[in-house]
Chain A
């Protein structure tokens, strides 16, 4: 740890620091371990994954430092101070500019497309772990909850990690097989939020979240999501809702953007657009 100097505490276990060798500002994340399994396998995998990824829109893991007196490690990331939630709050006027939204969405999709090409699911894209450099409008994604939450049932509840608002319906109904499409749904939610500056599906529980999604996107039927009634046995408790007009809910978004949003928020994950396909959408062509 002698290479780094702590500057300020950001939150519990997370600090802003300075690399004394490069004078680069960094984010230091201290991780302790449960005392029953050595270094958790999920963490080893996560670190090796982060080391492998090199992309302009993914926060880079610079270093891993042992902190052996406390049997912990410190992950050293490149520093990004402003997440999307704060960015929307601090720069509401900037976020009203369609070009800004388009550029930020493009960067999220570039990151998603990159790690999806490795068959990696982020599993927790949300504004709180999407960082922006206000000087350059460069967006970077961090905090891959994969594989921690997908592999280790003993760690924190993934629901907490994900936040309800950005969870795909197939996760909410505990569909056994889900894929990179869950990230695409989260990107769709963020897209809508960037336009309206508030979450599209805001809820207080998973039950309510699903009801909220159904109320806006329509309750799934055999036509819109074949086999859904078999996947989710509590479907009957929800009222049958017709899909609402997204143009009225996400006001100010151009028609091509509405079309893309529809495709990102397609209920049936099999029919949902991929990140790569989304990047080729006409919305990005003007």
Chain B
């Protein structure tokens, strides 16, 4: 079976095995940044450069999970090691930072894509010799204790959404919508302090508030009842989402044309210069959301919106196991021989067993 990065423990998305799921939730603290990271002024500039570089290196990615994952590596590494590894000894900090970011991206690609071509990425953004890349990757992996499975808000989203199924098939939260919110809020370093599961639950509730307001309370209750949500933290995160990030990164069409297309389909309207709170949207604004498609448009002001990744979310589906591409096992002569094999055996009075 294929390793599905959006589901790190590869358990099926249900809660029938509660002990297993609980173990999975218990893991998340190991995949968070060290405490105090979001308030440490030393990392703000580095993080900002890293995000813009990640955007550059992943501009042709199919989905936004690779940059999303790469940023989690940058955050976790910086929060515990303070200094980035120096592999290019004859080069300055900037070149080493670029290599560091490049390697975070390459590791994320390797985790995400089974058919990832390192050579292609390397040729396109040639940052150093492959051997230097290897050494940098090893240092990053060691620094992260090889914990590079995607235990992220996206993963937890896949756990939570099935808990919110309703009898009406029209009433569902599109994965793309929730994941867009999660990806968008990643830019704000304050959200690194929250558990990935809290971020997932909060983003789901924000999406529910907009798309299915009549079910918001029910969804909130179900998430709380699941026992997997830290209620106090969820409320704090929701407060942050409502007050700060939603207006900046999702609900402002001037700044984010990519997300605008999604948001406009939700029926959320905003006025230029006015921050739109979640509460500002009324249920009447909603349109049909069952067929949200993601269209990509180019970001014009890259400096202002370094997180403008392509949001072509692909829902994971069961896929057949890829087999190694092997050479033909039998050469043409052998194939011909096989065709006439029974005749040959008969001629010689032999049988295979």
Chain B residue contacts of A128, Cβ below 8 A = none
DSSP majority for the A interface?
loop
Is the pair A117, B20 in contact by a Cβ cutoff of 8 Å?
A: yes
Q: Which residues of A contact B111 (CB under 8 A)?
A: 41, 44-45, 48
Residues of B within 8 A of A150 (CB): 321-324
A151 B114 Cβ-Cβ under 8 A: yes
Residues of B within 8 A of A158 (CB): 324
Q: Which of B133, B146, B320, B342 contacts A38 (CB 8 A)?
A: B133
Report A162-186 residues with CB < 8 Å from chain B CB. Answer: 174, 176-180
Task: Give A234 to B341 CA distance when docked, in angstroms.
Answer: 10
State A282–B353 Cα separation when bound (angstroms): 33
Known: A36-B119, A153-B326, A237-B342. A178 touches B134 (CB 8 A): no
Residues from chain A with a CB closer than 8 A to the CB of B142 are 64, 66
Total interface residues on A, using CB and 8 Å? 48
B338 touches A153 (CB 8 A): no
CA distance A114 to B341 in the complex (A): 44
B141 and A118 within 8 A (CB) = no
Stretch at the interface among B102-110, B183-191, B218-226: B102-110
- In the complex, B8 has a CB within 8 A of chain A: yes
Partner of B323, one of A35, A174, A238: A174
- Across the interface, do B137 and A48 meet the contact criterion of CB distance under 8 Å? no
Q: Is A237 within 8 A of B341, CB to CB?
A: yes
Docked complex Cα distance between A174 and B353 (Å): 21
Interface residue A257 (Cβ < 8 Å from any Cβ of B) = no
Quick check: A238 and B352 within 8 Å, CB to CB?
Answer: yes
B107: chain A residues within 8 A (beta carbon): 39, 44
Select which of B3, B20, B139, B353 is within 8 A of A147 by beta carbon.
B3
Does the CB pair A51–B146 fall under 8 Å?
yes
Alpha-carbon distance A68/B85, docked complex (angstroms): 13
Whether B333 sits at the interface, judged by CB under 8 Å, is no
* Total CB contacts across the A-B interface at under 8 A: 124
List residues of chain A with CB within 8 A of the CB of B323: 150, 174, 176
In the bound complex, residues from chain B placing their C-beta under 8 Å from that of A45 are 3, 110-111
Q: Given A51-B147, A71-B138, A121-B1, are A35 and B130 neighbors across the interface (CB < 8 Å)?
A: yes
Are the C-beta atoms of A177 and B106 separated by less than 8 Å? Answer: no
State in angstroms the CA–CA spacing of A44 and B1 once bound together.
Answer: 16
C-alpha gap A180/B353 in the complex (Å): 28
The complex places the Cα of A147 from the Cα of B114 at a distance, in Å, of: 10
A196–B94 alpha-carbon span in the complex (Å): 65
With A121-B1, A174-B323 already in contact, the answer to whether A237 and B338 are too (CB < 8 A) is yes
Residues of B within 8 A of A (CB): 1, 3, 8-12, 17, 20, 103, 106-107, 109-111, 113-114, 116, 118-119, 130-131, 133-135, 137-139, 141-142, 146-149, 320-326, 329, 338-339, 341-342, 351-353
Please list the residues of chain A having a beta carbon within 8 angstroms of any beta carbon in chain B. Answer: 33, 35-41, 44-45, 47-49, 51-52, 64, 66, 68, 71, 73, 117-121, 147, 149-153, 158, 174, 176-180, 206, 211-212, 215, 234, 236-239, 241
**Sample of 11 further A-B pairs with CB below 8 A, known A48-B146, A51-B147, A120-B1:** A41-B113, A44-B111, A64-B146, A66-B141, A73-B138, A118-B10, A119-B1, A176-B320, A177-B321, A212-B353, A237-B339
